[in-house]
Amino acid sequence: MTEHIAIVGGGTGGTVLANTLAEKLDAELAAGEVEITLFNDDEDHVYKPVWLYVAFGQREPADGRRPLREVVDDRVTIRQDYVVDVDYERKKLELVDAIDPAPYDKLVVATGAQLEPERVPGLAEAGHHFYSEEGAQALRDGLLGMDGGHIVLSVVGTPHMCPAAPLEFTFMIDDWLRERGRREAFDITYTYPIMRVHGNEHIAEWADPRLRERDIGIETMFNAEAVDPEAQTITSMEGTELDYDLLVAIPPHTGSDFIESAGLGDGGWVDVDKHTLEAVGFDDVYAIGDAAKTGVPKAGSAAHYQANVVAQRLASELRGQPATAVYGGKTICFIETGMDNATFVEFDYERPPEPSEPTRAMHWSKLAYNESYWLTARGLL
């Protein structure tokens, strides 16, 4: 009998998992004992970190896209379809386009996060962002069309993808304007929903003086309540109002709609055992990456390490061995601190991040990583 491993979501986590499994289960795949199917609603694999650079005109959206078939091992079956629901009794996945449901014996949810700007009135019309291809392109045009004025970077919702990215954008825009001799013509304000500039205390402590040093205004405890696109103002639930000429907002996020309909968790996030990544209350269901509620940031690096752990666990289970691999919370992050400097952090469930002194070499490492990502996704690096 063929054992079906179904992976829902062909982003960073799902792709690394599919490729790692194909390597590990080479013999079983060849013997027809196992079949790996990757479900993704898009024909392409998308590498989102490129969008930060698209906003500054340094990269094109196409640099972050490749056909999924080119990135995924040939031993993996790809199905372009949207998974809507799970029948846990019959172990089947319901799909939007296919008439017949797809079978699974082991299911891994890797559906990532989606943006929901509609949750804040006015935000969808007025708020620029660099969290999608179109958003990053529109932001690039918005920036190029400005001679001066007030740029407000507002982190509206947490959790959101890549908690470092709003800080990176703020440091980069400051530097970008300085390089053009235009910084004097601009005010920049950074807002954050809690009482410090970042959710993680160590990152907040590191970033706070650096923002101030560059004359960037800071508004903490600022939870955007409404945006008025006509008046160009953003108001917070705490009663602060800011005028802006360009609003760059990190919109609220939810998980894939599929997670709610499949009853896998609230708000689109799957409750998992943070070490084994098994979905709490379900048999043979795992979740990895942004979709999983582990407490670590929604970062591609975390999705990658989690994929490695689940690959090992699935391979062990398939061979009737006890699954021993566990995820310790490992996350790594390069953080741009300007147009040609960056720092690096590595942390896990036990050890907090300790940002190093920013260097040019670290900036080049981030760019080099972005280039080599396609090999990483293929499981080659």
Ligand X SMILES: Cc1cc2nc3c(=O)[nH]c(=O)nc-3n(C[C@H](O)[C@H](O)[C@H](O)COP(=O)(O)OP(=O)(O)OC[C@H]3O[C@@H](n4cnc5c(N)ncnc54)[C@H](O)[C@@H]3O)c2cc1C
5 in Cβ contact with 104 (< 8 Å):
yes
Residue linked to tokens 């968790």: 265
- Judged by CB under 8 A, which stretch of 75-83, 141-149, 151-159, 166-174 contacts other proteins? 151-159
Rounded CA-CA distance 245/145 in Å is 11
Q: Is 66 in the site for other proteins (CB under 8 A)?
A: no
Which of the choices other proteins, ligand X, none does residue 57 contact, using the CB cut-off of 5 to 8 A by kind? none
Site residues for other proteins, window 336-355 (CB under 8 A)?
none
Q: In the complex, what is the shortest distance from the CB of residue 109 to ligand X, in angstroms, rounded to a whole number?
A: 9
Count interface residues toward other proteins (CB under 8 A).
18
269 backbone dihedrals φ, ψ, rounded to 5°: -105, 135
Q: In the complex, what is the shortest distance from the CB of residue 221 to other proteins, in angstroms, rounded to a whole number?
A: 5
Q: Is 189 in the site for other proteins (CB under 8 A)?
A: no
Total residues belonging to the chain: 381
Q: Is 239 in the site for other proteins (CB under 8 A)?
A: yes
Site string for other proteins, 268-307 (x = CB under 8 A): -------------------------x-x------------
Q: How many separate helices (H) and strands (E) can be counted in the chain?
A: 11, 23
Q: Which is nearer to other proteins, 92 or 202 (CB)?
A: 202
Q: Collect all residues with Cβ–Cβ distance below 8 Å to 139 and sequence separation of at least 6.
A: 55, 128, 129, 130, 248
Q: Which two tokens stand for residue 240?
A: 């602060």
233: phi > 0 → left, psi -120 to 50 → alpha, else beta; which? Answer: beta
Site residues for other proteins, window 95-134 (CB under 8 A)?
119
Which of the choices other proteins, ligand X, none does residue 268 contact, using the CB cut-off of 5 to 8 A by kind? none
Q: Which two tokens stand for residue 46?
A: 């998308």
Q: Is 221 in the site for other proteins (CB under 8 A)?
A: yes
Q: Which of 252, 265, 338, 355 binds other proteins (CB under 8 A)?
A: 252
Site residues for other proteins, window 154-173 (CB under 8 A)?
157-159
The radius of gyration of the chain's CA atoms, rounded to the nearest angstrom, is: 21
107 in Cβ contact with 279 (< 8 Å):
no
Helix (H) or strand (E) holding 274: none
Q: Which is nearer to ligand X, 40 or 158 (CB)?
A: 40
Where on the chain is the footprint of other proteins (CB under 8 A)?
119, 157-159, 193-195, 199, 201, 221, 223, 237-239, 252, 267, 293, 295
